[in-house]
Structure 1
Amino acid sequence: MTNNPTSQQAFDRYEAVRHRFPPLPTLPDADPEKVADLGAITDLYDVFVFDAYGVLNVGNAPIPGACERIETLRAAGKRIFVLTNAASYAFPKVVEKFQRLGFAFRDDELISSRMICDEALKTEDPEIVWGVVGPSWFSPDELPVRCLPLGDDQAAYDRADAILYLSTECWTDHRHMLLARSLSERPRRVIAGNPDLVAPIEAGFSVEPGWRMHDLMDRIAGLDVTFVGKPFGAVYDAVEERLEGAVAPSRIVMMGDSLHTDIYGARTRGWASVLVSDHGFLKGEDPLEAIAKSGLKPDWIVPAI
């Protein structure tokens, strides 16, 4: 798919692939309440978990007031985490990014889907050769396994014992078809390090690894895919492990711009959720209309944190 999808196309695609997401508990009937910002609900929760894009930053700029909100919550004694589906960059680059944006997060407050992938790979058979769909700057020494960057050589796809899908930054329709052909002829395990279907950009939305992966799953029946990132469980496990069972799920709240990743994932864990409406996936859209269509109800809606 070479064209950038519209917000409606992205929404419809999320709805079409929801059957592959973790099961949801019974959803609340109460409609979300709109509040001005997180100051209105600070006292209700002990742990605040933030998505990055559309909540803390847009591109290379922090959203006005976001840095100050984090420090206000920290001063109030709240635990802070960032939970991002960013898989293009190894963890040290994630740390650098937030420092560059002006946020004073500790390393143990940052959890990326890429970090969880890298940790999981350490438990894999060291003889396996992983074909890596990575960004243009990817280097094999970033990973703790034998790996082979995938490009335009069909033989490389066929040599790989398993596939690690991290980024669409330099991916093309041609490369997508090379991968589809190889996996059709010899199905293998796939780990998808970013379940997002799209990401907001100036031209609408970019196609992200989740979109490509669901296309492969549509084409290849029974393809063995493990998604790492919101709304799938491993990243939430990482947050709760850091809390060491000291906080009830109902006292944890997730802030995000996407109903199908941030809000959906929070619901699977029994966390509260806040939809941030003005800077990300739903910018310029009616959040209540999207909520009604999807049935995914956050507890709160704020324009910005």
Structure 2
Amino acid sequence: MIPTLSSEQAFERYEAVKHRFPILSAYKTTIEPIKDLSEIEDRFDAFVFDAFGVLNVGETPIKGARERIEALRVANKQVFVLTNAASYCFDQVVAKFKRLGFNFNDCELVSSRVVCEMHLPSVDSSFVWGVAAPSSFRPEELSVKAKPLLDDQPVYDEADGFLILSSESWTLERQALLFESLSQNNRPVIVANPDIVAPREEDMSVEPGYYAHDLMDRLPGLSVAFHGKPFGTVYDEIERRLGSSIPRHRIAMMGDSLHTDIWGARVRGWGSVLVTEHGFLRGQNPMDAILKSGIYPDFMTPSI
């Protein structure tokens, strides 16, 4: 049985675990509502887009998103996608956006999985990683030694560490196997998607962050490293690609989630734009969530 969460339940879960996020020290209570990004185009030099809920919902592109990207290019703005979706290897990420009709080049696409993979060899090159991955996963996709985590307890027990890429084929039974193995032998856990949920066409899918925080709640001494919004390594990579000519306050992040997109941008010193119509907060009053969480974006718009 796969757990499901409503948007309200997911919000409460994010609230319960946000003490594990990077520290957000700057307090603000003002938000500037905008019709779309054309109203703030001149204030930023680089625009960084979340995918789910901003550019697409599931396999459906959001109306006007492709045109907005091209308009920013015409205005000589740099554009990036920063996605926490870690089920796909990079070639699959490229193919997905082409399939959706977006014309991004490779250097404009930054996934949390790619950043995670960049950091794996620095842990211990001799490690054999047990990997929670989609059913299509092949160990040779990674540059480290890896075995998929399925239903055999010895594979869990023999792993030197664990890499959580995807929840696509993860189950509560496999979560129980991982918990049992970690409770007997504490080893590193690396999570390539910190999201608790992701918006789909009809509902919210449970993502790797849900399972990682479940483990942390039950195993207080567990060492977990996250790659993906709101954690710092993905912002490091965007800024590396931009170079030093664009200061942080001239970079804007567009996202549908207060706890990942907006929190991470605020911590980093980027501008933040909450998109409300298509993703995490669709059908809700976004100000209720903002007031309850205390996470204020710089700008708020129904759609980009």
What TM-score does the superposition give when structure 1 sets the normalisation length?
Answer: 0.98
Contact 2:58 2:201 survives alignment (8 Å): no
Q: How does 1:2-81 map to 2 (within 5 A)?
A: 2-30=2-30, 32-81=31-80
Q: Which residue of 1 aligns with 2:217?
A: 218
Tell me the amino acid that sits aligned with residue 29 of structure 1: T
Offset, 1:3: 3.4
**CA root-mean-square deviation:** 1.1
Tell me the amino acid that sits aligned with residue 13 of structure 1: R
Q: How far apart, CA to CA, are the structure 1 residues paired with 2:2 and 2:61?
A: 29
What TM-score does the superposition give when structure 2 sets the normalisation length?
Answer: 0.98
- Helix, strand or coil at the partner of 2:122: coil
Q: How far apart, CA to CA, are the structure 1 residues paired with 2:275 and 2:173?
A: 36
Tell me the amino acid that sits aligned with residue 20 of structure 1: R
Offset, 1:124: 3.8
Q: Which residue of 2 aligns with 1:181?
A: 180
Offset, 1:203: 4.9
Q: How far apart, CA to CA, are the structure 2 residues paired with 1:140 and 1:265?
A: 31
Contact 1:47 1:252 survives alignment (8 Å): yes
Q: How far apart, CA to CA, are the structure 2 residues paired with 1:203 and 1:97?
A: 20
1:99 matched to 2:83? The reply is no
Q: How does 1:77-92 map to 2 (within 5 A)?
A: 77-92=76-91
- Helix, strand or coil at the partner of 2:79: strand
Contact 1:252 1:271 survives alignment (8 Å): yes
Contact 1:195 1:227 survives alignment (8 Å): yes
Q: How far apart, CA to CA, are the structure 2 residues paired with 1:16 and 1:28?
A: 21
Q: How does 1:139-150 map to 2 (within 5 A)?
A: 139-150=138-149
Q: Which residue of 2 aligns with 1:235?
A: 234
CA distances 1:67-105 after superposition (whole Å, capped 9, x unpaired): 110000010010111100011011111011111111111
Q: Which residue of 2 aligns with 1:172?
A: 171
CA distances 1:265-304 after superposition (whole Å, capped 9, x unpaired): 0001111110000000001011111001001000111111
Contact 1:4 1:203 survives alignment (8 Å): no
Q: How far apart, CA to CA, are the structure 1 residues paired with 2:281 and 2:29?
A: 22
Give the number of aligned pairs: 304
Q: How far apart, CA to CA, are the structure 2 residues paired with 1:303 and 1:287?
A: 10
Q: Which residue of 1 aligns with 2:129?
A: 130
Offset, 1:117: 1.2
Tell me the amino acid that sits aligned with residue 5 of structure 2: P
Offset, 1:57: 0.7
Contact 1:140 1:149 survives alignment (8 Å): yes
Unaligned runs of 5+ in 2: none
Q: Moved runs in structure 1, 4+ residues, more than 6 A? A: none
CA distances 1:138-185 after superposition (whole Å, capped 9, x unpaired): 000000011111011011000000000011101111110000000000
Q: How does 1:110-125 map to 2 (within 5 A)?
A: 110-125=109-124
Q: How far apart, CA to CA, are the structure 1 residues paired with 2:29 and 2:218?
A: 36
Q: How far apart, CA to CA, are the structure 2 residues paired with 1:186 and 1:203?
A: 39
Unaligned runs of 5+ in 1: none
Offset, 1:29: 2.6
Tell me the amino acid that sits aligned with residue 182 of structure 1: S
Q: How far apart, CA to CA, are the structure 1 residues paired with 2:233 and 2:26?
A: 21
Tell me the amino acid that sits aligned with residue 225 of structure 1: V
Q: How far apart, CA to CA, are the structure 2 residues paired with 1:304 and 1:29?
A: 22
